Amino acid sequence: MNEREIVRDLARQYAEIAFSEESARKAANWGRLNALDSSARPPVILDQLPWNEFAQEEELRLLCSDPLLRDMEKYFRGELFRVRHFGADLVLPPYYPFDKVCTDTGCGITAIRQDESGHEGAQTHLFEDQLPDEASLAKLKTPVITALPEETNRLKAALEDVIGDILEVRPQGRMIWAGLWDRITFWKGAEAVLYALMDEPEFLHKLMKRTVEIEMRTVDQLEEQHLLAAGIGTKCHCVETYVDEPRWRAIDQAHIRTQDCWISGAAQIFSEVSPAMHDEFEIEYMKPLYDRFGWVNYGCCEPLDRKIGIIRKMKTVRSISASPWTNVDMQAEAMGGDYVMLRKPNPAFVASGRPDREAMVKEIRATLRACRKNGTPVAFVLKDITTVKGRADCLTEWVGIAQAEIENG
């Protein structure tokens, strides 16, 4: 089998799953969940996986040498591996997605790691403070984004030549991650940010104001040049974006607006700050940006159980993260049926390569109990998985345990 036929065969396998009745049922269930139907079955999804540990898996071994075919092969093999081994409620897009071609001049600054001698390969890092004072804010520039539709069309034609008779080939824009405090933390370092909250609050206000201005202008450019992503098959911070609502079904792929899109963001550095400080430095600045979008997926690894009140200020929030450090009873009570809880199970329970069944079951049951008591729609999103000691079947086992608890709970 030549390289072209290898890719075409994988595309056929992919299409068989993507257009199956099972995929349609999964998509419909996500749609009900994201429309705040608490009777929707709690979906289970896994993302941010340790792919480097699965390199020995025969199903993932790449055979193509041609760069275009190799990229396609990698996508198909990865998605097929996921859905077959721990796909749970993953829905394969019913098309082959590729990024629209554009240029981006950047914002004038990128993260610089401190010297990591002796700590190479670490999963966490320390960063140099590149914004120590107000004068340094001059480094921050508004990116100039330029769509290159001719390049996009050339790439689309090349992809269609390979698989166009099997799958639609669809160019996609960006799904925005608006975790601006994450960016600031990479630019300054976590310790510097936390000290500045106490010692230099006015400086941080100016920094945040400037960062939001840049993000707003960036979004304007993406919208004007048709570089946003929305609709069937798109994912927002690991989860499916199907919504059983007329406005979602009416999205025009040729003219995607911010109001058609999901957006995600968080302020993880504020994990331990008070709700009042979180409101002052995050919510008040981010509200105008988030309110432009149709749906907001808010939060990541920071506990938000004490902050639902300030999150309510943002009118388009639809789902809220519940990290492993969340008091799930408190958060479900505060959310009620107004938001989807995206429960993030603790990835430490699979880090040994063998699921900690007792801890997992306790966590899942507590979540289901709290959400059912308060009428809160919930999904389980296992992510940030640094290691499973090379045992992909550990994640298969985790999915089985989670699904059994959901069905029997």
Q: What is the mean pLDDT of the chain?
A: 96
Q: What is the reported pLDDT for 77? A: 98
User: Distance (Å, rounded) from C-alpha 190 to C-alpha 126?
Assistant: 8
What is the band of 39 on the pLDDT scale with cuts at 50, 70, 90?
Answer: confident
In the predicted structure, residue 58 carries a pLDDT above the cut 70: yes
Whether 285 and 209 have beta carbons less than 8 Å apart is answered as yes
Q: Which residue spans within 33-176 are E strands per DSSP?
A: 44-46, 96-99, 102-104, 145-147, 169-172
Give the mean model confidence (pLDDT) for residues 93-105.
98
DSSP strand pairing (340-343 vs 317-322): parallel
In the predicted structure, residue 122 carries a pLDDT above the cut 80: no
User: Distance (Å, rounded) from C-alpha 201 to C-alpha 47?
Assistant: 36
Q: What is the reported pLDDT for 115? A: 75
In the predicted structure, residue 126 carries a pLDDT above the cut 90: no
Give the mean model confidence (pLDDT) for residues 70-92.
97
Give the mean model confidence (pLDDT) for residues 54-65.
95
Give me the torsion for CA of 128, 134, 137, 139, rounded to 10°: -70
Give the 3-state DSSP-derived string for 73-97, with helices as H, strands as E and coil as C: HHHHHHHHHHHHHHCCCCCCCCCEE
Q: For the chain, which residues make up each domain, given as ranges? A: 3-408
**SS3 state at 256:** coil
Q: What is the reported pLDDT for 307? A: 98
User: Distance (Å, rounded) from C-alpha 338 to C-alpha 318?
Assistant: 8
The per-residue b/e assignment along 174-200, b for 16 or more CB within 10 angstroms, e otherwise, is bbbbbbbbbbbbbbbbbebbbebbeeb
Instruction: Please report, rounded to a whole number, the percentage of residues in the chain having pLDDT higher than 70.
Output: 99
Closest CA to 363 of 380, 338, 340, 386: 380
Give the mean model confidence (pLDDT) for residues 215-221.
98
307 HSE (CA, 13 A, CB side): 28
User: Distance (Å, rounded) from C-alpha 400 to C-alpha 409?
Assistant: 14
Q: Sort 133 into a burial class: Cβ within 10 Å, 0-12 / 13-18 / 19+.
A: exposed
In the predicted structure, residue 328 carries a pLDDT above the cut 90: yes
Q: What is the pLDDT of residues 194-204, one digit of tens each?
A: 999 999 999 99
In the predicted structure, residue 209 carries a pLDDT above the cut 80: yes
What is the band of 1 on the pLDDT scale with cuts at 50, 70, 90?
Answer: confident
What is the band of 120 on the pLDDT scale with cuts at 50, 70, 90?
Answer: low
What is the band of 36 on the pLDDT scale with cuts at 50, 70, 90?
Answer: very high
Q: Which fold has domain 3-408?
A: TIM Barrel (3.20.20)
Q: What is the pLDDT of residues 277-301, one digit of tens each?
A: 999 999 999 999 999 999 999 999 9
Q: Which two tokens stand for residue 358?
A: 């007792």
Closest CA to 36 of 264, 322, 320, 406: 320
In the predicted structure, residue 238 carries a pLDDT above the cut 90: yes
What is the band of 146 on the pLDDT scale with cuts at 50, 70, 90?
Answer: very high
